[in-house]
Chain A
Amino acid sequence: MWPHFRAAYNLARWLTRSHDDAEDIVQEAFLRAFSACENLRGDAARPWLLAIVRNTSLNWMKRSGKIALAMGGEPELNDLREPSPDPEQSALISVDRDGVRRALEQLPVEFREALVLREIEGCSYKEIAEVAGIPLGTVMSRLSRGRDCLRRILASPAKETVT
């Protein structure tokens, strides 16, 4: 369990976007995890622990009113600022660190968690499915839509400078 402490904090931090909330969540999750099963070690422990962190985070955010959506259904992207035209023609997207961080933070939480788990934590699709409690096909589509969304957000300012 301990080896995944860093991963637990990283996930909670990205989900809640708050350092203080993340610490509280990790603490709660670790106590819950510990009382549930202290003997779980190795690779199986990571998705298991991260699932606890994830659920704790979402409950936390629901409680504090930071997300109002019901998890389960596919999120609607309509609410998101849609930075119009598909930037596929211009190969330029702005990928500076702060821009990427901001873009990732403004993604809906379902996409954010999939992308954080995949790209930042380096989880396999199977592990993501386990953590988020969704089928593999949903992992695939969430990653795909999440990346697309991210790409559009990042492309819009670059496009202005190009044209």
Chain B
Amino acid sequence: MNCEHSRLYLSAYLDEELDVPGILVMQQHIDECHGCRAVLEQQASLRQALHDPALYAHPTPEFAERIRNQIRRAAQNDTESRFVSLMTPFRMGWYGWMRAAAVVGIALFIALPWAYRLRGSSERAIEEAVIAGHIRSLQAEHLVDIPSSNQHSVKPWFQGRLDFAPAVPDLGDAGWTLVGGRLDYIAGRTVAAVVYRRRLHDINVFIWPKSGAADETANPRYIQGYELLHWTRANMAYWVVSDLNRKELDEFADLLRRR
């Protein structure tokens, strides 16, 4: 054994955590090596010093009492809750829990897809209505009721015709011309349609209130050759539909959300 190894095992030797062959090898080396013996002596006196009871950090009696009370309280709550569970009409064993879990699982299995489909179908109906509204507005030459590129004449026009005030931001500086506003009928209610144009592409923005809805942005959809964006902000549902490409329409939607 060389000194490098000896130093590594010295501390375990001191702690009597070496196996018998290890102890024998160490003993032999320490007998022969003056340097390692000195280190061992230092470590032994260091160890002695560390065993000084004054180094032990004692908690204060007040703190001990506080924790003790806390444990007692926790134990009490625990017994109380156990008592409550005893009082329930039937105590469910492991088997009972399994059965209950199975029932809940089956119920969810049936109910979830159903609820999902229900929600999905209403969402899809709105999508179709929005697309239809867009197509209608282009076909019947009835794009706008109030043709104006001035937001200050479009916005007041909605007043008195709707029970909410849709945002009509002017995005002309970003290259989105405001064409005007129109009333439309979607999902069983009158909604605001604000029309913008870029190059030859018309963009319908349908807005109506949707109270209690969380702010969220739906995945973009592509239906019948139209791009369809939808999001909810501040209890208002926004649907943007156009034959413009997705990239530009996304930029438009970002602008709209920011204003």
Contact = CB atoms under 8 A, between A and B. Distances in A.
SS of A interface (majority): helix
Contacts of B74: 31, 34-35
Contact of B8 (A6, A38, A144): A144
A26 B78 contact: no
29 contacts: A5-B67, A9-B58, A9-B63, A14-B57, A26-B67, A30-B71, A34-B75, A89-B38, A91-B38, A91-B42, A93-B42, A93-B45, A93-B46, A95-B45, A100-B49, A104-B50, A104-B55, A118-B15, A119-B47, A119-B50, A119-B51, A120-B50, A140-B17, A144-B7, A144-B9, A147-B43, A147-B46, A151-B43, A151-B46
A88 B39 contact: yes
A144 B58 contact: no
Interface of B: 7-12, 15, 17, 35, 38-39, 41-43, 45-52, 54-59, 63-64, 66-68, 70-71, 74-75, 78
A23 interface: yes
Contact of A100 (B55, B57, B63): B55
A9 B54 contact: no
A30 B70 contact: yes
Interface residues of A, number: 44
Nearest to A94: B49
A157 to B, nearest CB: 14
A55 interface: no
A155 interface: yes
A37 B110 CA distance: 38
Interface in A5-20: 5-6, 9-10, 13-14
A35 B52 CA distance: 35
Interface string A96-133: 11001100100000000001001110001100000000
A32 B43 CA distance: 37
A27 interface: yes
Given A9-B59, A144-B9, 18 more contacts: A2-B68, A5-B59, A23-B59, A26-B59, A26-B63, A38-B78, A89-B35, A91-B42, A97-B55, A100-B50, A100-B55, A115-B50, A118-B15, A140-B8, A144-B7, A144-B12, A148-B7, A151-B42
